[in-house]
Structure 1
Amino acid sequence: MKILRYSINGSSYYGILGRDGNIERLKGSPLEGLQPAGYVDHLGSARVLSPLYRPRVFGLGYNYRAHSQEVGKSTPTLPVLFMKPSTTVIGHEESIVYPPDGENVHFEGELTVIIGKEARHVSEADALDYVFGYTCGNDVSDRVFQRRESEFGCLLVGKGYDTFAPIGPVVETELDPSNLHLITRVNGEVRQNGNTADLVYGVSALIAYLSKYMTLLPGDHIMTGTPAGVGPIKPGDTIEVEIEGIGVLRNKVLSATDVTP
């Protein structure tokens, strides 16, 4: 089942997307139940929004073996975690704003997990029961700032600019996350071609690990890391993250000077 958040005539809704492009509108958040509102909209008349409004976002570093190898890092012995501010999140076809002082900004295509119910001290065996669904993500990163911060053991601004977490376009609720093909394209050229089978810590392990130390809340996003092939982007570029069974997340990069205040 594919769930999306969308707007029509300035009002936002959640709905279930059918193969014919029809959207069965829901009464409220799908995290609270899939109750039909009695209306049917069409994708062609809707603007697709990020799956949830300003969620908590957890990020993972070096969680694909091939990516660790390409950047000269050893395989981590525990999940390398950071957080991205909720204001980084944008939706499908929204613009990534290139920082005015940016020098080396990279794309990172990622499978993103959305938590469906409160999770604390969850076992790996039960972890997937707490998942609402899966979507595409792009962990946009300012490498210059990221490296400066990392020298002092922290990481926030390099990952935390507004618009640095495109998420979407839909949430697929029925998916096995252990063996999914992921492709990232820049201007139509394939830059990443990976599979979640290469994850160091899979979805179940990540949920169990995080919930051991903190309560995961409905709507929390876990960006699971990026495959090999990350690289720079610039204003004018179009980035596409495609994940098998979910779809394509597409975002254009704009210069900060082209954005209306």
Structure 2
Amino acid sequence: MIWGRVKTAGGTVVSGEIHDGFLTPGAWPANMASDDTAGQAGRIALDAATLLPPCAPGKFIGLWNNYHAAAEKNGWAAPDHPLWFLKPASSVAGQGAKVVIPPAAGRVIFEGELGIVIGQRCHNATEEQAQAAIFGYTCINDLTSLDVLNAEPSFPQWSRAKGFDGFGVIGPVIATGLDWRELVVKVTVNGRERQSYPASDMILPPVEIVRQLSFDMTLEPGDVIAVGTSLGARPVKPGDNVAVSIDGIGAVEVTLCDGATDR
């Protein structure tokens, strides 16, 4: 099943199931979205609405060093616990957004990733509880400023480097019922494939990520976890069109622009 959020022509934000070009309001897990689904009658044609990020995460968690291929190439030890950082809610962008690269960001790279979307409250979870807490999966582009990340030798600035407005691209939808082991994450820049790797190469799989993170913080419905990227992340610049795609989910595509361009 496919789930998403739209803004109607009248300005109402609605969540629900997407099928055959329409969104049917409602049926989300409890507390997953605070959108105005109540009283919204009938289906909404997607071509008459604006597709939004599929959820509004209270917490947007990113992982580093979670793929064997990248760890082996860079000489990194495989972690026993997720190595995580937080991206602010203001970093969230969705399908078709124009993402400004501010002057302070300097060099920016894309990072195509699989995203876990939490569907129920999860705290100190067992493996079974962690599995039940995973609502579905989405595509992530974890844009990162390399210049900011490495500007201060004594303190790598993970959240600042990844926290500029629009640097947390989510979408286009949330898909349920997928086997993450069969998924391949791909990124194209201006139509040219620049990254492609199997999700099955993950060091810590989704259930273990959720289980262990639930001991660090309470996970809530709508929270998003970007499970990390693998080889192939590269610099991008204003004017580039960047799309992250995963079969079964679709492609989330944004255009990068400089500070002089309106988003």
Per the normalisation by structure 1, the TM-score is 0.92
Residues 70-93 of structure 1 deviation map (CA, whole Å, 9 limit, x = unaligned): 445333343211111111001111
Q: How many residues align?
A: 258
* Identity, % of aligned positions: 33
2:51 match: secondary structure = strand
Aligned to 1:16: 17
Q: 2:119 aligns to what? A: 116
Larger mean CA deviation between 83-92 and 49-58 belongs to 49-58
CA contact (8 A) 1:96 1:163 kept: yes
- The separation in 2 between residues aligned to 1:57 and 1:149, in whole angstroms, is 24
Q: Secondary structure at the match of 2:180?
A: coil
Alignment deviations for residues 134-155 of structure 1 (CA, whole Å, 9 cap, x no partner): 1101110001111235642552
Aligned pair in 2 of structure 1 residues 25, 125: CA closer, same or farther (>3 Å)?
closer
CA distance in 2, matches of 1:179, 1:150: 39
Find the counterpart in structure 1 of residue 2 from structure 2: 2
| 1:108-257 correspondence to structure 2 within 5 Å | 108-149=111-152, 151-152=154-155, 154-257=157-260
Structure 1 segments of 4+ aligned residues over 4 angstroms from their partners: 32-37
Report SS of the residue matched to 1:148. coil
Deviations 1:236-258 (A, max 9, x none): 10111011211111111011111
SS in 2 for 1:156: helix
Among residues 39, 44, 51, which one is paired with 1:41 in the alignment?
44
Q: Distance in 2 between matches of 1:248 and 1:232?
A: 20
SS of structure 2 residue aligned to 1:257: coil
Cα distance in 1 between the residues matched to 2:85 and 2:31: 28
Classify 1:70/1:239 alpha carbon distance in 2 versus 1 (closer, same or farther; 3 Å): farther
For 1:59, the equivalent position in structure 2 comes to: 62
Query: Alpha-carbon deviations, 1:119-175, whole Å to 9, x = none?
Result: 011122432201111110111000111123564255221111111001011111221
Structure 2 SS opposite 1:144: helix
The one-letter code matched in structure 2 to 1:75 is: A
**RMSD of Structure 2 on Structure 1 (CA):** 2.1
Choose which of 89, 100, 109 in structure 1 pairs with 2:103: 100
Aligned AA (1:205) = E
Gaps of 5+ in 2: none
CA contact (8 A) 1:56 1:85 kept: yes
**Unmatched 5+ stretches in structure 1:** none
Alpha-carbon contact 1:67-1:229 (below 8 Å) kept: no
Structure 2 counterpart of 1:25:
25
